[in-house]
Amino acid sequence: MKRRTFICSVGAAAVTLALSGAALAQEAVKIGLILPMTGPFASTGRQIEAAAKLYMQQQGDTVAGRKIQLILKDDTGVADVTKRLAQELIVNDKIAVMAGFGLTPLALASAPLATQGKVPAVVMAAATSTITEVSPYIVRTSFTAAQATVPLADWAAKNGLKKVVTLVSDYGPGIDVEKAFTEVFTKAGGQVENLRVPLANPDFSPFLQKVADAKPDALLAFVPSGVGAQFMKQFVERGLDKSGIRLLAEGSVTDDDLLNNIGDVALGAITSHHYSAAHDSPENKAFVEAFKKISNGTRPNFMAVGGYDGMHLIYEGLKKTNGQGGQALIDAMKGMSWTSPRGPVSIDPQTRDIVQNIYVRKVERRDGELYNVEFATIPNVKDPVKAAKSN
**215 φ, ψ (degrees, to nearest 5):** 50, 55
How sure is the predictor about 228, in pLDDT bands with cuts at 50, 70 and 90?
Answer: confident
List all residues 6 or more positions away from 378 whose beta carbon is below 8 Å from its beta carbon: 151, 154, 357, 358, 359, 360
The alpha carbon of 113 is separated from its chain's Cα centroid by a whole number of angstroms, namely: 20
Euclidean distance between CA atoms 167 and 164, whole angstroms: 10
Flag whether pLDDT at 4 surpasses 60.
no
**pTM (2 d.p.):** 0.90
- For 354, the 3-state DSSP assignment is strand
The alpha carbon of 315 is separated from its chain's Cα centroid by a whole number of angstroms, namely: 18
pLDDT digits (tens, 9 = 90+) for 121-168: 999 999 999 999 999 999 999 999 999 999 999 999 999 999 999 999
Euclidean distance between CA atoms 39 and 76, whole angstroms: 6
pLDDT digits (tens, 9 = 90+) for 234-264: 998 899 988 999 999 999 999 998 899 988 9
List all residues 6 or more positions away from 99 whose beta carbon is below 8 Å from its beta carbon: 31, 32, 33, 34, 52, 121, 122, 123, 124, 307, 310, 311, 314
DSSP assignment letter at 132: G
How sure is the predictor about 10, in pLDDT bands with cuts at 50, 70 and 90?
Answer: very low
Flag whether pLDDT at 9 surpasses 90.
no
Res 20: pLDDT: 39
Euclidean distance between CA atoms 320 and 128, whole angstroms: 29
Flag whether pLDDT at 110 surpasses 90.
yes
Res 390: pLDDT: 78
pLDDT digits (tens, 9 = 90+) for 24-33: 446 899 999 9
Mean pLDDT of 65-72: 97
How sure is the predictor about 23, in pLDDT bands with cuts at 50, 70 and 90?
Answer: very low
Residue 130 half-sphere exposure toward CB, CA atoms < 13 A: 10
Res 93: pLDDT: 97
Helices (H), ranges, the chain: 2-26, 42-59, 79-91, 104-117, 145-158, 172-187, 205-214, 228-237, 259-262, 282-294, 302-321, 326-333, 384-390
Flag whether pLDDT at 195 surpasses 60.
yes
Flag whether pLDDT at 67 surpasses 50.
yes
Q: Which residues are paired to 73 by β-bridges?
A: 34
pLDDT digits (tens, 9 = 90+) for 303-353: 999 999 999 999 999 999 999 999 999 999 999 999 999 999 999 999 999
- For 180, the 3-state DSSP assignment is helix
C-alpha pair distances (Å), 365 with each of 68, 267, 317, 362: 40, 8, 40, 10
Euclidean distance between CA atoms 238 and 254, whole angstroms: 19
Res 7: pLDDT: 44
C-alpha pair distances (Å), 67 with each of 21, 175, 290, 317, 331: 16, 41, 23, 15, 21
Euclidean distance between CA atoms 299 and 291, whole angstroms: 7
Q: Rounded mean pLDDT of the chain? A: 92
Which of 34, 69, 38, 63 minimizes the C-alpha distance to 49? 34
Mean pLDDT of 196-208: 91
Euclidean distance between CA atoms 313 and 121, whole angstroms: 11
Euclidean distance between CA atoms 148 and 353, whole angstroms: 13
Euclidean distance between CA atoms 279 and 272, whole angstroms: 13
How sure is the predictor about 388, in pLDDT bands with cuts at 50, 70 and 90?
Answer: confident
Mean pLDDT of 375-379: 97
List all residues 6 or more positions away from 367 whose beta carbon is below 8 Å from its beta carbon: none
Euclidean distance between CA atoms 62 and 68, whole angstroms: 6
Q: In 10 A of CB 275, how many CB atoms?
A: 32
Largest pairwise CA distance in the chain: 100
Res 22: pLDDT: 42
Euclidean distance between CA atoms 355 and 347, whole angstroms: 6
95, 89 in Cβ contact below 8 A? Answer: yes
In order, the DSSP letters of 65-107 are: TEEEEEEEEE-TT-HHHHHHHHHHHHHTS--SEEEE--SHHHH
Q: In 10 A of CB 326, how many CB atoms?
A: 15
Res 265: pLDDT: 87
Res 202: pLDDT: 82
Res 354: pLDDT: 98
Res 259: pLDDT: 92
**68 φ, ψ (degrees, to nearest 5):** -100, 125
